[in-house]
Amino acid sequence: MNNQAQLIDKETMLLKLSKKYKSLDPKDFMKAAKERLSMNIHSNDGMITDSPYYYFMTGVDACVNIKKALDKEQIDPSKIKKILDLPCGYGRVSRWFNVFFPNARLYVSDIMKDATQYCVDNFNGIQIDSTPEPEDLVLPKNVDLIWVGSLFTHLPEKKVMGLLRQMTASLSKDGIIVFTMHGDYVVDRITKREKVYNLSEKNVQALLDRYDRTGFGFATYPNSKHYGISVYDKSWLYFATGLINDLGVKHIWPKGWVAHQDIVVARKSKGRYVPSGKKYYCPCCEISSTKFKPMNKRENAICPKCSSLERNRLAYFFFEERTDLFRRNNFKLLHVAPEKVLAEEFKEASNVTYLQIANKKERRELETDLLNLKYKDDSIDGIICNNVLQHIVDDTAVIKELLRVLKKGGWAMLQVPTFRSFKHTQENLRSKGNTPYDKSSKNRIYGYIEYPEKLTKLGFRVTVEEYARKAFSEKEIEKFGLLKSEQIFFCVKK
């Protein structure tokens, strides 16, 4: 036993914890912990530092958050039969699973083999061999609950995503993953140099630069090649996890774990609904049909029921699978020149506060509205402004105004037509009549390289993705009537 653990009285500690966490039933908690909590701490356990109470509190805090996640997702705790704690360390959290989930089978895994063995010997754990590379990790099947505390906070993006894929594959049908990340709180501390987590100034700047560009930053500790500090923002998380089949982020609780790391709750999802039967299916109106209507030489472009186009259907999937639009409470959405079929979906969503700027016959009237938005600075969570900017005279001023009202970390979908034949933006097209496209109502055609560069310079972090090609099978592309080449311009305010 670590000598510091001997300095704390078990009953006094439990009483203090029962008072701190109001969601616990004091009598049940005290009784269960007295019977099943091991106070043994390995002599090499560096997590105990100078405060034995804080060490034990950290484990309770994890389990309280897990209980909260189960409650939010309406999962009966008694149904949790298999738990994986990865990394288990020397049992900071593992020991508490014996208290909170006494009937569950506990699997433990850590890159430190003596730590894993300690959890096997002291907390009834079942050993799972850990590996440095996610693809080599072999996890048990049908796990109901996976706890990942303070691991993704120290790994690069590729390994985080690799581990999440492996863990998702190991989940039971209604399985849940609760993991921690470094969010806005840590980013702010690093930015202000209040705490740099032992990183060199060079690596601090590299982390922040990467975070600014992509939404995920990572830098290694001194004398380490693969281990360090990582930070994320919410838009990156929803976007990145959207690429993992059958996984959906359900909740993010900033500073949820011991007032420091964010708690993220993700759950096994049913996956994309692909109905059998008739050849085509529209996700917007949920109607199957034998064919879609043609448009401009494109076969199967228009849904015969709701009149959605290929781009509308792709956008619907994108909002549902890659953003927090339908997942976060009190989401304030601003929709510019709204597509009717999408507007109806947003209005019906109970979590969305829907705001719109109606299209106008005279483009100058719409531009006037966009240059003088009535909303406060940093007040909007998401903006949809599709196929508008190419018609606007002063598009730079409009983009700046959209940025003004958008919250930091908020996102915007800013779709415009682009053509591979135009690397650079062609301006003043209304005065030109000799181009190969119909430009009668457009001020410009954006260059496919120059447009994202412009958005980036103005203050967005931009991801350009051929979403249909990347996320859909050939069968799904045909079934939903999508354009494989359609690009999504997904922009997050820095």
pLDDT tens series, the chain, 494 aa: 555 555 578 999 999 999 999 999 999 999 999 999 999 899 899 888 768 899 999 999 999 999 999 999 999 999 999 999 999 999 999 999 999 999 999 999 999 999 999 999 999 999 999 998 988 999 999 999 999 999 999 999 999 999 999 999 999 998 999 999 999 999 999 999 999 999 999 999 999 999 999 999 999 999 898 899 999 999 999 999 988 878 889 999 999 999 999 999 999 877 788 888 889 999 999 999 999 999 988 988 999 999 999 999 999 999 999 999 998 889 999 999 999 999 999 999 999 999 999 887 666 788 889 999 999 999 999 999 999 999 888 999 999 999 999 999 999 999 998 877 778 888 876 555 444 334 445 688 899 899 999 999 999 999 999 999 988 999 999 999 999 989 999 999 99
Q: Are 115 and 103 in contact (CB under 8 A)?
A: no
Examine residue 342 and state whether it is found in any structural domain, yes or no.
Answer: yes
258 is written with which tokens?
């011991």
Examine residue 222 and state whether it is found in any structural domain, yes or no.
Answer: no
Angstrom distance (rounded) from CA 24 to CA 15? 11
Assign residue 434 the CATH number of its domain.
Answer: 3.40.50.150
Report CA-CA distances (Å) from 112 to 48, 73, 88, 109, 442.
17, 33, 9, 8, 62
Regarding whether 259 and 407 lie in a shared domain, the answer is no
Regarding whether 319 and 256 lie in a shared domain, the answer is no
Examine residue 205 and state whether it is found in any structural domain, yes or no.
Answer: no
Angstrom distance (rounded) from CA 264 to CA 253? 6
Rounded to two decimals, what is the model's pTM?
0.87
Regarding whether 473 and 353 lie in a shared domain, the answer is yes
Q: Which residues, in sequence order, are bridge partners of residue 171?
A: 143
Regarding whether 165 and 130 lie in a shared domain, the answer is yes
Q: Which residues, in sequence order, are bridge partners of residue 385?
A: 336
